[in-house]
Amino acid sequence: MKRCLVVAALLFFLSPRALSETYYVSIKGDDSLDGTSPAAAWCSLDRVNKANLKPGDAVLFRSGDVFRGNLRPHSGTSGAAMLYGRYGHGRKPIIEPSYDASDPSVWLKVSDGLWKWVYNSELEIGNIIINHGRSGCARKVDFREDLDGTDLNFIWVEGERTVYLSSVKNPGERFRSLELAERRHVIDECACHDVTYDGLWLRYGAAHGIGGDNVRNITIRNCNVSWIGGSTNYLDNEGRSVRYGNGIEFWCGAEDILVENCRVWECWDAGLTNQSNVDNVLQRNVVYRGNKVWNCEYSYEYWQQGDGARTENVVFENNVCRNAGKGWGHTQRWNPNAAHLMFYDTTAETDGFVVRNNVFSKTEDCGFRLFNAWYPSLTMGGNRWRIPKNLLCRYHGRPTSDLIYKYPDHLDQVHEDNELEIQGQIVEEPMVFGPGRKELKRFKARFNF
């Protein structure tokens, strides 16, 4: 018996969890220290990203601090997930991959009403957040001629790798804070697995808040995600930019995902989303629950295409979604199409998709947009729709097979991608459901929700 106890104790002390270490990060720290106590804390995200971490280790950021750069997490193992969290009391620690352009000396006057940022960015600047969002943001344009002297229009010039901003006076004198958001995910978790994020505030990334493809065993809880997106993902046929900007995105493969008790706001595109256009992709066991999402173009977005792609057991429950399309991106888009639930064309085999017990309140366009008839795989129940003036639902009636992905909002069968062709793909009559109880009853009857 004693020998068994000794062996059990030895196995415990040799387990990944027992051998794990906790590292601390503070803006008052020093990257030359070992990071293993608050008194010996590291000070930078660069040090965290380069650290030789083991499965089961924890990295804790000091509450109230602001860390510039983005986080590239390490993977854990089953039973020994990596933890990126916080220590201390107060505001959640902030991670922001943006440039502080608040100093008047960083702006050079080019001509009356036009200013140039004197520094260069490595990647595209996709948004300029003014006074930490209290004064909104500047308006990004795609072409120099669109600056046209309009106050607070800006353009990022790739050849110079800098920003030109229209302003009636030096922007640094005019505003207390200017943050130039660069085309980065705040957390870039590509191919990561067995990771937990808890109690972080992610903001001012011009790509996604949390982004990356082919992830599994990811938990995101008690996090804030705000002011996300604006940089160019690709250009459409007319040279207009289709932009990044999801708060929390799972692209391509995603398995065993939990997002709970998070607050997500002011995202260019979706607050929460899992999506893909890749062959043979599996998205399975993805749960969003207890989150609050507001002022995003879409509160939740889903679509999946690709030969052999499959979606299993996605649950969106007990979330509160408010003011779809009320965010900063809606008025800047060339294709404003706000919805709390944005379900683009889906051709993947889908099973066990549940949307239940959520609150959907107010929208600039509609509450729910469904592009094609995969709804027999979708179960909805217990949701409260508070859409007093705008449309409850737009159903587009497109096919569920033989689509070729081109743009997220323009999915064609060949390569013309024009409006007549899209309309010609209709296999069921498109339907529009207005506000009111009668329309809600008709909506539920049509889709058996």
The Cα–Cα gap between 199 and 187 comes to 14
Query: What band does 416 get if pLDDT is binned at 50, 70 and 90?
Result: low
The Cα–Cα gap between 110 and 206 comes to 25
- Across the range 355-359, mean pLDDT stands at 97
Q: For position 112, what pLDDT does the model report?
A: 95
- Across the range 88-96, mean pLDDT stands at 97
Which one-letter amino acid corresponds to residue 33?
L
- Across the range 230-240, mean pLDDT stands at 83
Q: What are the pLDDT digits (tens) for 384-409?
A: 999 999 999 999 888 887 776 655 55
The Cα–Cα gap between 347 and 282 comes to 13
Which of 129-133, 228-232, 381-385, 408-412 is least confident? Answer: 408-412
Query: What band does 290 get if pLDDT is binned at 50, 70 and 90?
Result: very high
Q: For position 409, what pLDDT does the model report?
A: 58
CA distances from 379 to 177, 287, 358, 393, 421 (A): 45, 14, 13, 16, 31
Task: Kindly give, in sequence order, each residue whose CB lies less than 8 Å from that of residue 177, ignoring residues fewer than 6 positions away.
Answer: 100, 102, 129, 130, 131, 132
CA distances from 416 to 372, 403, 413 (A): 20, 13, 9
The Cα–Cα gap between 151 and 115 comes to 11
Distance of CA 424 to the CA centre of its chain: 32
- Across the range 135-153, mean pLDDT stands at 92
The Cα–Cα gap between 239 and 234 comes to 9
- Across the range 29-48, mean pLDDT stands at 98
Nearest to 20 by CA among 61, 65, 77, 88: 77
> Six-digit token pair at 162?
């800098």
- Across the range 420-431, mean pLDDT stands at 72
Per-residue pLDDT at 14 exceeds 60: no
How many C-beta neighbours within 10 Å does residue 190 have? 14
Q: Is 114 exposed, middle or buried (CB count within 10 Å of its CB: 0-12, 13-18, 19+)?
A: middle
DSSP code at position 151: T
Which of 47-56, 193-202, 425-434 is least confident? Answer: 425-434
The Cα–Cα gap between 373 and 276 comes to 18
DSSP code at position 161: T
The Cα–Cα gap between 15 and 108 comes to 58
The Cα–Cα gap between 386 and 324 comes to 12
Three-state SS at 168: coil
pLDDT exceeding 90 applies to what percent of the chain? 79
The Cα–Cα gap between 38 and 247 comes to 30
CA distances from 249 to 107, 174, 272, 275 (A): 34, 35, 6, 8
Question: Can you name the residues that pair with 117 across neighbouring β-strands?
Answer: 107
